[in-house]
């Protein structure tokens, strides 16, 4: 059983009951006590009435990955009682609403039951159905404060920040909080052995979700046009972009908006708008998820061939088809790397957490402009929609967007002729111009065969000439996309572990655990595509490379094999595709299972 500042608890409710804000309150209060904390929201694809869970993990070492071991279960949804009770660790606790008796069959001998008549207390204290339901959430927050020693003042402070100008709301929240807190103090031995103690480990850190951070990144990158078609789990990225733009981009004098957000009729139109806007000189992007990428595929190939910048944020969810739209996966790795018909290959960036989401969103725009190509920003539901503890975001005031080779009217004035696809300096990247600026800048953007001068062609040599340059251009980007993050083991080892994106949190924790068990692994996290040479070198330097990823078919391993040419038997897959974020335990077990089999 874990103890002080090292435990996890889970809150089971039905969605639409307003529990989200109570859960957020608990998380943030713990964070303000200086104790590292993460939350994972496990929710249904539904608006009201289906089971939803919120998992909170407290860890003094700062591990932020998901854990599947829960010390305390707050079981408030009778529909999932059986399942929830089964998930409690032996020796753990179960908090339930004792307004109604708990069936004897649901009792476990190795779990302590803590009954609090939440509904009865709130029905007595509050009037109106909605208020009673909402205050029940705050009441269980009060119970948890007593049980886990969460500082009540922190919760009260947060309530005041939230409802600053609504004294009536503050009063009822305070009351509900006290109801729960006092009941627990009076009836249980508070606090429990799993509990909090103030620390100083969250200074310089924030709690933020990746979609908010990515939306902010788009603002800081100078994006002015966003086009989208709503799809979970990417929706809140555009909502964040909109909110930040409303805050920072409205001209105070005229009320005019220095941004445009277009809700398109579908994803085909969303990407079309992005290409039109980029072609006309704006920084433009579209957030979506797997099904949207499928629809965008034709235009993505167009953008590759006609060399139009575009930033496409894929907040991945479990597929195929509608799949599990509210569950996380990394299942579009192959799709995005080679999206579209014909010979195409695309730049991708793979953030591991919200801080990287912020930074890589900015990088994605620079890459798109520099390489005049679509760039996939590959996040996932876990990063995008959950609150992560990350170092504060920082901004380099000297940053200026890299707009790539865009000729100005003055430059065009001095030129005899301009040819859109002529590589004058051998780097594979050709200069572009913007419409409306200069008569000499005109060119014809087309998906049909064109030669280096931009003219229509069906000539094999002329066609291949452009295709080969494009291949070179994209390959060169391998050194410009975010470099892999490498962490060598403390001792020399022939074992390596490669992962990507949101698996990072689970992997670093697993590596520590394995090291303690005497298993040393060098670690590499892929952060960009095309792969840098150092990835191939890492693979070559190890006899066995574990590849940890969140999809069924080991897509990262496929990419590694295709792109590095390393033999298949070099790799051992540790996959996870339940829809829940991967845990360190899963990684550790996967690695151990293989090593034990070959021992």
Q: Report the nearest approach of other proteins to the CB of residue 579 (Å).
A: 27
* Contacts (CB under 8 A) with other proteins, residues 17-56: 31-32
Q: Binding residue for other proteins (CB under 8 A) from 20, 50, 178, 393?
A: 393
- CA angle (302, 305, 306) in 5-degree steps: 80
CB 55 within 8 A of CB 66: yes
Provide the token pair at 280. Answer: 């006309």
Sign of the C-alpha dihedral, residues 78, 82, 85, 87?
negative
Nearer to other proteins (CB atom), residue 243 or residue 595: 243
435 scored as a contact of other proteins (CB under 8 A): yes
Question: 116 by DSSP, 3-state: which?
Answer: strand
Instruction: By CB under 8 A, name the one of 59, 64, 329, 433 that touches other proteins.
Output: 433
- Shortest Cβ distance from residue 215 to other proteins (Å)? 12
Tokens for 148, please give them. 């886990």
The DSSP symbol for 450 reads B
**For residues 443 and 420, is the Cβ–Cβ distance under 8 A?**
yes
Return the number of the residue (100 or 248) whose C-beta is nearest other proteins.
Answer: 248
Applying the rule CB under 8 A, the residues between 522 and 561 that interact with other proteins are none
State in angstroms the smallest separation of the CB of 185 from other proteins: 28
Q: Identify the CA nearest to 511 among candidates 540, 494, 487.
A: 487
Structure tokens at 587: 């990684």
- 166 Cβ partners below 8 Å, 6+ apart? none
**Cα angle 595-498-539, degrees, rounded to a multiple of 5:** 85
Closest CB 265 distance from other proteins, rounded Å: 4
| Other CB atoms within 10 A of residue 39 CB | 23
Examine residue 207 and tell whether it contacts other proteins (CB under 8 A). Answer: yes
- Contact map string, positions 63 to 92, toward other proteins, x by CB under 8 A: ------------------------------
**Applying CB under 8 A, which part among 141-149, 317-325, 431-439, 485-493 lies near other proteins?**
431-439
- At its nearest, how many Å lie between other proteins and the CB of residue 398? 10
Nearer to other proteins, 44 or 301 (CB): 301
- What is the spatial distance between Cα 315 and Cα 464, in angstroms, rounded to a whole number? 35
Work out which of 12, 95, 273, 347 binds other proteins, going by CB under 8 A. 273
For 66, which DSSP code? B
Whichever of 448 and 578 has its CB closer to other proteins, that residue is 448
For residues 292 and 309, what is the distance between their CA atoms, to the nearest angstrom?
18
Least Å distance, CB 376 to other proteins, is 19
**Residue 206 phi, psi dihedral angles, 5° rounding:** -135, 165
Dist. CA 492–CA 447, nearest whole Å: 51
H/E stretch holding 121 reads: helix 118-125
Task: Reduce the DSSP state of residue 435 to 3 states and report it.
Answer: coil
Does residue number 438 form part of the binding site for other proteins (CB under 8 A)? Answer: yes
Find the shortest distance in angstroms from Cβ 258 to other proteins.
Answer: 5
Q: Identify residues 451-480 at the interface with other proteins (CB under 8 A).
A: 456
Which parts of 282-301 interact with other proteins (CB under 8 A)? 282, 284, 298-299
Q: Which helix (H) or strand (E) holds 303?
A: helix 290-306
Structure tokens, 546? 């574990």
Question: How many whole angstroms from its chain centre is CA 476?
Answer: 27
Identify residues 239-268 at the interface with other proteins (CB under 8 A). Answer: 244, 248-249, 251, 254-260, 262, 264-266, 268
Candidates 272, 287, 291, 501; binder of other proteins (CB under 8 A) is 272
**Considering only 68-76, 445-453, 533-541, 560-568, which stretch makes contact with other proteins by CB under 8 A?**
445-453
Residue 395 sits in the site that holds other proteins (CB under 8 A): yes
Could you count the other beta carbons within 10 Å of the beta carbon of residue 526?
Answer: 27
Under rule CB under 8 A, residue 228 binds other proteins: no
CB of 402 to other proteins, least distance (A): 11
Is 444 one of the binding residues for other proteins (CB under 8 A)? yes
CB of 451 to other proteins, least distance (A): 13
Which span (42-50, 434-442, 497-505, 579-587) binds other proteins, by CB under 8 A? 434-442
Q: How far is the CB of 455 from other proteins (least distance, A)?
A: 8
Q: Considering beta carbons, is residue 355 or 504 the nearer one to other proteins?
A: 355
What one-character-per-residue DSSP string does 341-376 give? Answer: SSS---EEE--SSHHHHHHHHHHHHHHHHHHTSEEE
Decide: is 165 part of the binding site for other proteins (CB under 8 A): no
Q: How far apart are CB 335 and other proteins at their closest, in Å?
A: 19
- How many residues of this chain bind other proteins (CB under 8 A)? 71
205, containing H or E segment: strand 205-209
Vertex 579 angle, CA 577 and 344, to 5°: 65
Question: Which of 185-193, 446-454, 532-540, 549-557 is the region at the interface with other proteins (rule: CB under 8 A)?
Answer: 446-454
CB of 444 to other proteins, least distance (A): 4
Q: How far is the CB of 269 from other proteins (least distance, A)?
A: 4
Shortest distance, position 279 Cβ to other proteins, whole Å? 6
CB closer to other proteins, 59 vs 278: 278
Candidates 10-18, 221-229, 313-321, 544-552; binding stretch for other proteins (CB under 8 A): 221-229
Q: In 3D, which of 289, 314, 379, 307 has the Cα closest to residue 45?
A: 289
Q: 274, 285, 298, 289: which is closest to 230 by C-alpha?
A: 289
Stretch that binds other proteins, among 119-127, 140-148, 444-452, 557-565 (CB under 8 A): 444-452
Segment 397 to 426, residues that bind other proteins, using CB under 8 A: 397, 399-401
> Cα–Cα distance between 289 and 325 in angstroms, integer?
9
Number of Cβ atoms within 10 Å of the Cβ of 343: 12
């Amino acid at each position: 059983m874990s103890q002080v500042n090292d435990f996890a608890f889970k809150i089971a409710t039905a969605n639409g009951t307003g529990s989200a804000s109570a859960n957020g309150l608990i998380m943030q209060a713990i964070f303000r006590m200086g104790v590292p904390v993460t939350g994972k929201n496990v929710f249904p694809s539904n608006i009201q009435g289906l089971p939803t869970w919120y998992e909170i993990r407290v860890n003094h070492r700062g591990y932020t990955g998901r854990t599947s071991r829960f010390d305390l279960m707050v079981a408030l949804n009778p529909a999932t009682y059986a399942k929830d009770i089964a998930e409690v660790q032996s020796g753990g606790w179960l908090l339930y609403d004792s307004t109604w008796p708990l069936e004897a069959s649901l009792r476990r001998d190795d779990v302590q039951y803590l009954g609090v008549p939440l509904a009865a207390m709130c029905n007595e204290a509050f009037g109106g159905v909605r208020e009673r339901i909402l205050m029940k959430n705050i009441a269980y927050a009060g119970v948890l404060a007593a049980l886990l020693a969460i500082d009540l003042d922190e919760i009260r402070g947060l309530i005041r920040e939230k409802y600053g100008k609504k004294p009536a709301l503050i009063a009822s929240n305070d009351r509900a909080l006290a109801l729960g807190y006092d009941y627990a103090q009076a009836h249980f031995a508070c606090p429990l052995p799993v509990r909090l103690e103030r620390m100083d480990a969250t200074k310089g850190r924030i709690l933020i979700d990746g979609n908010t951070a990515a939306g902010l990144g788009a603002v800081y990158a100078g994006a002015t046009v966003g086009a989208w078609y709503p799809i979970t789990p990417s929706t809140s990225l555009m909502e964040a972009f909109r909110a930040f733009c409303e805050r920072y981009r409205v001209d105070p004098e005229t009320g005019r908006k220095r941004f445009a957000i277009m809700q398109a009729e579908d994803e085909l139109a969303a990407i079309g708008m992005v290409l039109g806007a980029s072609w006309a000189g704006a920084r433009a992007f579209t957030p979506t998820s797997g099904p949207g990428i499928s629809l965008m595929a034709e235009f993505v190939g167009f953008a590759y061939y006609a060399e139009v910048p575009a930033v496409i944020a894929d907040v991945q969810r479990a597929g195929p088809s509608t799949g599990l739209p509210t569950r996380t996966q990394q299942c579009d790795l192959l799709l995005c790397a080679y999206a579209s018909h014909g010979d195409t290959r695309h730049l991708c960036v793979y953030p591991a957490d919200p801080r990287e989401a912020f930074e890589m969103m900015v990088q994605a725009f620079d890459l798109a402009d520099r390489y005049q190509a679509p760039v996939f920003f590959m996040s996932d539901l876990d990063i995008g929609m959950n609150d992560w503890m990350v170092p504060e975001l920082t901004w380099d005031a000297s940053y200026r967007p890299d707009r790539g080779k865009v000729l100005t009217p003055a430059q065009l004035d001095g030129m005899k002729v301009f040819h859109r696809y002529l590589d004058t300096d051998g780097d594979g990247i050709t200069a572009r111009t913007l419409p409306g600026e200069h008569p000499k800048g005109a060119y014809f953007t087309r998906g049909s065969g064109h030669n280096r001068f931009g003219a229509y062609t069906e000539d094999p040599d002329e066609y291949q000439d452009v295709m080969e340059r494009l291949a070179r251009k994209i390959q060169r980007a391998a050194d410009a996309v975010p470099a892999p993050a490498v962490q060598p083991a403390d001792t020399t080892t022939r074992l390596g572990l490669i992962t990507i994106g949101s698996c990072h949190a689970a992997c670093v924790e697993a590596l520590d655990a394995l090291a303690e068990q005497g298993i040393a692994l060098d670690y590499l996290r892929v952060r960009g595509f095309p792969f840098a040479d150092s990835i191939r070198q890492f693979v070559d330097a190890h006899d066995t490379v574990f590849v940890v990823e969140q999809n069924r078919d080991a897509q990262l391993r496929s990419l590694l094999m295709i792109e590095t040419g390393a033999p298949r038997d070099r790799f051992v897959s540790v996959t996870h595709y339940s829809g829940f974020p991967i845990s360190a335990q899963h990684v550790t077990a996967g690695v151990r299972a293989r090593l034990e089999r070959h021992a």
